[in-house]
Structure 1
Amino acid sequence: MDAWSSQQLSTLYGREIFRSREADETHALVTHELKTHRSTWGRGNVDAVFCRAELSALSLCILRYGCDVDIEPDTLGNFVLVQMPLRGHAEVHTGGQTVQIHPGQGAVVSAHKPVRLRWHADCEQLMLKIDLARLQDVARRTFAARPAGGAGAAAEIGEIDFELPLRLDDAAGTQWCRMVAGLASLLPADGHEPYDPRWLAHYEDNLMLYLLCHRPNSVRRQHDALRLGSEAASMRQLRLAEEFMRSRLDAPLSLEDVAEAAGVSRRALGLLFRRYRDLSPMEVLRNMRLDAAHAQLARHDGASVTEVAFSCGFSHLSRFAACYRERFGRLPRETSREPARH
C-alpha cells in the first residue's frame, strides 16, 4: 500500500538533517536527534539518512539505516513515537509483545514502556514524534471524567498505552495516513510563507485526537469503563428517586426531599431526569400521581373525585382536573362515570 506519495513527502525529504555511512557516527547523530539508546549493528552496509520537520508538538521524521540494527532506548520518556514503515520491515518488542511492522502496519510506541527495536536493512520509516505533555492535555480535555454532577476538576491523565499493532490498511488507518500526509503537505517549502502557527497547532491537536479516538488505548478504555460505571450509578439514583416518589404519592414532596432520597444534589437530580426521562423530577411526580388517580377512578371503588385527588397528592381540584384532562383527554368525573370494564 502506497499510503504516502513521493510528492506528499518531498518537502520532508528536503529537510535532511544528516546522512552517514558510519555506524558510530549514525549512532551519535540519532542519539542527538531522537533519544539516547544502545545500538547493535548487523549485516549490510550503513547508509543512514535522517530528515525531520518540527512543529509545536509534533515532529515528522524519515529515518533509514541501510543495514540491520538493534536499537534499545529503554523508555522514550517525554514523547510517543508513531512508526510507519514506508518500505521494508522491522520488529517492535515492548510490553511483553513483539509485532512485525511494514507498509500497512505500524506501531505506536508508548513513552513509559521499555522498548527494543530491530530494523532490517530494507527498512525506511516515516515517524511521528508526539510530545507526551501535549498528548496528555488533548486526552484530558477530551476524555477526563468529572465527579458526579459535573462539578470539580477533571481527573488527571496518566500514562497512555496504545495497543499494538497500528493498522494502517483498515478504514481508520487509511484516514490516519491521509491526515499524516496532510500534515506533511503543510510543511512550507523554501521561499514560501509558513501557515499560521495557531491553525497548525489546531491541526496537530486534531491529529492527536484522532489517534486517541480511533486507535485502542488505555485512556479511551478507562473513559469507557468510567462512563459505564457512571451510567449504572445514574440509573441506580434514578430508581431510588422514582421509588421514593411512588411510595409517597399522597405526601407533599419537595425537590430537596427527592434529591436527598436519591443521594444527589438538586441540580444533579434535575440533570438525571432530563437525561433519562426528558422531564423534570416534579413533572415525573405529577404524572405518577395522575396515573395513580386514573387507575383508582377506573376501579369504581366508591371513592369520590375529591377523595381520589387528595389521596394522590393533589390539593387543588381545579388544577388536578386540568392536568388530568391534559394527560388522559377527559375529566376525572368522566372516568369515574364510565362503566366498569370486566
Structure 2
Amino acid sequence: MLPSTILLFILPLLAQAAPRGEDTIKERALVAKATFSSSSVPAKSSSSIPAKSSSTVLAKSSSLLAKPSTSTVNKQSSSTNPTKSSSIVPAKSSSTTTKQSNAATSTTSSPNSTIAADCSCGYVLSKYNNAYFPKALRVSFDTVKSIADLNKAGFEVNTGWGIGTAADDGGHAIGSTNNVGFSNGAMTLKVPGGQKKGKAITGAEINFANSVGGGVFTMNAQLSAVEGTCQSIFTYTSDSSKYGDEQDVEILSTSILTSTNGVPPGVQLTNYDPANTGNNDAVIDPFPNNPTTGYNDYTIGWLKGGTKYFYNAKVLNSPTKYSSIHNSLVLINNWSSGDESFTAGPPVKDNILQVKSVTFYYQTQNLDAYPALPSGCTQAKACIV
C-alpha cells in the first residue's frame, strides 16, 4: 500500500506505448475482465489496447448484464506536484449544496485549504449513516477554470493514454487535454463528434492524485444525451498487478432516455472481485428523472460493511458482492471505443459531460483501519456534515 504522501499519477497506457514511470513509481496495468451479473465468463480480449481505468463495460446478452471491464491504470512520472488533498464538504443533492454544520464549506482550488481548523478531527456524514472519514476535498468548477487550477486542486488529466476497453474493430479511446474544458461554472469532459470508428477516438479523463482506502465520492454532473459514449465516476485498484478492486458508476448514453435491447434506461453499477478473478456483480437502476436536463449527484459510498451507491443522496439498488478492500484511485471520464456492445458510437456530434463539483470524504488507509482517526482525535470531536 502506497503512503498518501506519495503523489499518484495515473494515466492510461496504450498497449503499443512503452511504460512510463520512475523506479519509485510502480507501473499498474489493468487486466481485461468480463462477467455476467452475479456470475463470471471468460474475459473478453480488448484487442491490442490494454484498457485503462474506464469504469466497467456492460454488454447486454440474454437480458443479463455482462461487461468486459478493463482499465489499464499506469502511474505516470510527472514533474507536476498535485497538492495533497485532505477534506471534503458535504455532497450536493440535486445541484443544491448541503449545509455543513460546525465546519466551513470549502469551495476552493487548493485542497490544503479545504481543511477547516475546527474540522481537523474529520467528518461524520449524517446523510450516509453517520459514516466517519478524516479527510475531505471539495472542488467547485466555478473557481477552478484551467488545467493548471485542476492540477493544483489535486487532479491529473489523461494526456494521450488509453481509456476503457477496445472494440473488436480496433477502435479505442485515448485521453486528450483538448477535451477537458471549463465553461459556465462547470468542468466539461468531451468526446468530439464525427470521429472514425476502428481508430483512436479521443475522450476525456481526470483522476484524483491520492490513493484512497474508503470514502464517499460524489460527482455533481449533467449528462449528455448525445449517443455513443460512457460517462463515469469510479474507483480502481492502485495495484492491478495483485488486485482487481473496482467500483463503477457508468452511464451509457445510448440508454439514458430510451430502452436498449430490453434493458431499461438507468445508471449502471458494478463491483469487481478484489481477488482479481474477473468476477463482478452488476445492477442497472432506472433514473427517477432526466439526467440530461439538470445537475444531479452520483455517489460511490465505499463504506465499512459494503459499497452503496447513491443518486441525489438516495441509496440505489446496489450490488451486494465484491466491495473493494484495497487502496484505489478515483477517476471521472467520458469516452467511446465504438464498441457496439458497450459505448456504441463514436458520437456523431460532441458529447459533453458537465461536472459542476466533486466532493470527496475519504481516508488514505485501508478500511481495515476504520475509523482512521487523526492523532489525539475522537469521533466526538469531528464535524457533523
Q: Calculate the TM-score normalised by the size of structure 1.
A: 0.28
Answer 1 or 2: which has greater strand percent. 2
Larger Rg: 1
Q: Calculate the TM-score normalised by the size of structure 2.
A: 0.25
Answer 1 or 2: which has greater helix percent. 1
Greater RCO (Cα-Cα under 8 Å, separation 6 or more): 2
